[in-house]
Amino acid sequence: MTLTKMDIVEKISETLDLSGPEAKETMEEMLEIIKVTLASGNDIMISGFGKFQVNEKAPRKGRNPATGEIMMLGGRKIVTFKCSGKLRNQINETVE
C-alpha cells in the first residue's frame, strides 16, 4: 500500500483537529520548505527520521537505446535519503 499526499493530509487533519483546507495548507507549506531548501543545495536533517542530502553526479558515458550511439551524459544533482538509526530500528521491528 502507498501512502499518498491526501492520506497524509487526512491524518494531519484528524491528529491536529484541523479542517481539511488547513491540514492541506500545512502539508503544502512543509513540502515547499523542503523543496526550496533542497533546490538551494542545502541538506535537510529531521531528527529521528533521517537526512535528505543533495549530491553531485559526475558526467558519464551513456548509450542512446534507440540508436546504440554512445554519448556523454552531463553531470547533475540528485537527492538521496538516509534514514536515522531510530527509524531503521522501527522498520525492522515491524518485519520480525
| CATH of residue 44 | 4.10.520.10
Structure-block grid coordinates of residue 47: 531528527
Kindly state whether residue 68 falls inside one of the protein's structural domains: no
Kindly state whether residue 64 falls inside one of the protein's structural domains: no
Angle at 27 between CA 92 and CA 16, to 5 degrees: 80
Q: What is the pLDDT of residue 26?
A: 94
Side-chain-side CA neighbours of residue 51 (13 Å): 9
Kindly state whether residue 36 falls inside one of the protein's structural domains: yes
Kindly state whether residue 66 falls inside one of the protein's structural domains: no
Q: Tens digit of pLDDT per residue, the chain (96 long)?
A: 899 999 999 999 999 999 999 999 999 999 999 999 999 999 999 999 999 999 999 999 999 999 999 999 999 999 999 999 999 999 998 665
Q: Are 26 and 18 in contact (CB under 8 A)?
A: yes
Give the three-state DSSP class for 7: helix
Kindly state whether residue 43 falls inside one of the protein's structural domains: yes
86 lies in which domain range? Answer: 5-58+73-95
Q: How many domains does the chain have?
A: 1
